[in-house]
Amino acid sequence: MNDARPGMMLGEATEATVVALAAAGDDAAYSELVRRRQSAIRNLMRRLCRDAALADDLAQQTFLQAWRTLRGLKSPTAFGGWLRKLAVNVWLQHERANRVEKASTQIVDTLEAAAEFTASFTPTLSEKIDLDSALATLPPNVRICVVLAYNEGMSHSEISSVTAIPLGTVKSHVTRGSARLRELLRSYQHDIGVRHVR
Amino acid sequence: MSDEIDPELTRLFVAADEALPPEQFVAEAVQRIRRNRRLSMVRRLCVVSAVVVAAAGVAPFVADFSVDVVRYSGGGIEGFADLLVSPIGAAASMVVGFIILRRVRATRR
Give the residue with greater pLDDT, B83 vs A111.
B83
- The interface pTM score, or ipTM, of the predicted complex is 0.71
Every domain of chain A with CATH number 1.10.1740.10 lies at 7-98
Q: Which one of A6-10, B8-12, B22-26 scores highest in mean pLDDT?
A: B22-26
- Looking at residue A45, its pLDDT comes to 95
- Above 90 in pLDDT, residue B48? yes
Burial class (CB in 10 A: 0-12, 13-18, 19+), A41: buried
Contact A142, A134 (CB under 8 A): no
State whether A56 and B2 contact (CB < 8 Å).
Answer: no
Band of residue A100 on the pLDDT scale cut at 50, 70, 90: low
State whether A171 and B3 contact (CB < 8 Å).
Answer: yes
State whether A150 and B33 contact (CB < 8 Å).
Answer: no
pLDDT tens by residue, A54-77: 999 999 999 999 999 999 898 999
**Contacts of residue B63, Cβ cutoff 8 Å, sequence gap at least 6:** none
State whether A178 and B5 contact (CB < 8 Å).
Answer: yes
Give the CATH fold of the A7-98 domain. Answer: Rna Polymerase Sigma Factor; Chain: A (1.10.1740)
Burial class (CB in 10 A: 0-12, 13-18, 19+), B91: exposed
The answer as to CATH 1.10.10.10 being correct for domain A103-197 is: yes
Residue type, A123: P
Every domain of chain A with CATH number 1.10.10.10 lies at 103-197
For residue A48, which phi and psi values (nearest 5 degrees)? Answer: -85, -30
Contact A87, A62 (CB under 8 A): yes
- Above 80 in pLDDT, residue A117? no
In terms of Cα–Cα distance, which of A88, A141, A134 is closest to A110? A141
The set of long-range contacts for A151-154, using a CB threshold of 8 Å and a minimum separation of 24, is: A151/A43, A151/A44, A151/A47, A151/B13, A151/B17, A152/A44, A152/A84, A153/B1, A154/B1
DSSP state of A105: G
Residue type, A11: G
Neighbours of B95 (CB within 10 A): 10
What residues in A contact B12, CB-CB < 8 Å?
A: 131, 150, 185
Residue type, A61: Q
What residues in A contact B6, CB-CB < 8 Å?
A: 150, 178, 182
pTM of the model: 0.69
Cβ contacts below 8 Å, chain A against chain B, sum to 83
What residues in A contact B5, CB-CB < 8 Å?
A: 149-150, 174, 178
- Looking at residue A43, its pLDDT comes to 94
pLDDT tens by residue, A25-54: 899 999 999 999 999 999 999 999 888 899
* SS3 per residue for A142-191: HHHHHHHHHCCCCCHHHHHHHHCCCHHHHHHHHHHHHHHHHHHHHHHHHH
Band of residue B90 on the pLDDT scale cut at 50, 70, 90: confident
As a whole number of angstroms, the distance between CA B17 and CA A68 comes to: 28
As a whole number of angstroms, the distance between CA A185 and CA A196 comes to: 16
- Looking at residue B76, its pLDDT comes to 65
Contact A151, A49 (CB under 8 A): no
C-alpha dihedral, B3 to B7 to B12 to B15, nearest 10°: 100
- Above 70 in pLDDT, residue A106? no
**Contacts of residue A39, Cβ cutoff 8 Å, sequence gap at least 6:** B18, B19, B20, B22
State whether B33 and A30 contact (CB < 8 Å).
Answer: yes
Lowest mean pLDDT among A83-92, A120-129, B50-59, B100-109: A120-129
- Looking at residue A8, its pLDDT comes to 54
Residues of B with CB under 8 A from a CB of A: 1-6, 8-10, 12-13, 16-20, 22, 25-26, 28-30, 32-34, 36
Chain A residue closest in CA terms to B29: A60
Q: Provide mean pLDDT across the span A170-198.
A: 75
In terms of Cα–Cα distance, which of A83, A64, A65 is closest to A19? A83
Q: Provide mean pLDDT across the span B1-17.
A: 81
Burial class (CB in 10 A: 0-12, 13-18, 19+), A85: middle
